[in-house]
């Protein structure tokens, strides 16, 4: 893995064996492999998460605020959202490996101790690294403490988290206008603080230089294109992004892309905040919002959250031997 300013080369993303976390100043993206026959431990984080199933099929389970479990199988090409603090996990019980791509909406860095996930910051030479976010580890949860058992998974799959998941058939591609008259077809889903976009650029696609307040991450899953970003005082970034690369455009940086070799490109893109307010994009955006209020924790109030007792040295702390 090599990092060059706004771009990180990871090789073929589908060959990763451990999750890769790439950070910016407003959000972070995660490439998460889930090998066949494996499942995550139930956990929760303080971040809103929007995601895309880039390869394979997985089952998603979500525990709501009153400890009901919702479950749904997500085929390749599905979009999903996990509201902050909800316990959730993915299970890949099938015979094929799967890969998830996720965007994390990072809020204020309120936790003071050093419990950060290893990550790769993608910073331009004109940016201040002190502005960049770090991602905290998740809290693990013992389902038994919630009166739940994974043996009930088949029953949970009969209760889907309506609104938080959209299968490929539910997110239709739309044409986004370009001044070069070269098509850009995209499928877009949004949460509260981010959008996840799957974009197909064909031929010699060349976007017009543009700027937005959103921080943008692009993960290349097919083809290639050159990425350009302009900073202050004439400084700029330019490099060819190929399959397996991740690149970032800082907020308010003038940027554009060009498929110079004529072969087009296929990207999974994350924007923080989301582009669902842009008129050219908004017409095709599918919101990822739950219909059940127990699946949408309010951000203006708190609740008790149980963590796995095995992850807390209760006896040692109480005995004063830690």
List the domains of the chain with CATH numbers: 2-169 (2.60.120.10), 173-287 (2.60.120.10)
CA atoms in the 13 A half-sphere facing the CB of 114: 1
Q: How confident is the model at residue 201, as a pLDDT? A: 86
Q: How confident is the model at residue 24, as a pLDDT? A: 96
Q: Note if the bond before 45 is cis, omega within 30 degrees.
A: no
Per-residue pLDDT tens, the chain, 322 aa: give them. 666 789 998 878 888 889 999 999 999 999 999 999 999 999 999 999 999 999 999 999 999 999 999 999 999 999 999 999 999 999 999 999 999 999 999 987 777 777 899 999 999 999 999 889 899 999 999 999 999 999 999 999 999 999 999 999 999 888 776 555 556 788 999 999 999 999 988 888 888 899 999 999 999 999 999 999 999 888 999 999 999 999 999 999 999 999 999 899 999 999 999 988 888 777 889 999 999 999 999 888 899 999 999 989 999 999 999 8
Q: Which helix (DSSP H) or strand (DSSP E) does residue 281 occupy? A: helix 279-282
């Amino acid at each position: 893995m090599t990092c060059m300013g706004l771009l990180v080369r990871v090789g073929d993303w589908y060959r990763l064996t451990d999750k890769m976390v790439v950070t910016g100043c407003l959000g972070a993206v995660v490439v998460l492999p889930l090998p066949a026959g494996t499942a995550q431990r139930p956990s929760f984080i303080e971040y809103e998460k929007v995601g895309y199933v880039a390869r394979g099929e997985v089952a998603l389970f979500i525990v709501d605020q009153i400890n009901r479990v919702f479950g749904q199988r997500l085929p390749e090409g599905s979009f999903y959202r996990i509201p902050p603090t909800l316990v959730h996990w993915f299970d890949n019980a099938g015979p094929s490996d799967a890969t998830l791509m996720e965007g994390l909406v990072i809020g204020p860095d309120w936790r003071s101790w050093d419990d950060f996930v290893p990550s790769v910051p993608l910073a331009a030479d004109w940016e201040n690294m002190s502005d960049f976010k770090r991602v905290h580890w998740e809290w693990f949860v013992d389902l038994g403490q919630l009166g739940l058992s994974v043996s009930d998974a088949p029953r949970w799959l009969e209760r889907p988290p309506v609104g938080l998941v959209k299968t490929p058939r539910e997110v239709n591609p739309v044409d986004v206008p370009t001044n070069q008259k070269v098509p850009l077809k995209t499928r877009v889903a949004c949460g509260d603080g981010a959008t996840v976009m799957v974009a197909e650029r064909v031929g010699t696609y060349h976007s017009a230089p543009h700027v937005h307040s959103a921080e943008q991450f692009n993960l290349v899953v097919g083809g290639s294109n050159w990425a350009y970003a302009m900073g202050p005082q004439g400084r700029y970034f330019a490099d060819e992004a190929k399959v397996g690369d991740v690149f970032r455009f800082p907020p308010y940086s003038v940027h554009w892309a060009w498929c110079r070799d004529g072969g087009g490109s296929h990207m999974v893109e994350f924007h923080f905040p989301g582009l669902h307010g842009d008129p050219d994009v908004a017409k095709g955006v599918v919101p990822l919002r739950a219909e059940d209020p127990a699946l949408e924790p309010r951000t203006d109030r708190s609740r008790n959250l149980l963590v796995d007792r095995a992850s807390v040295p209760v006896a040692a702390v109480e005995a004063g031997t830690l």
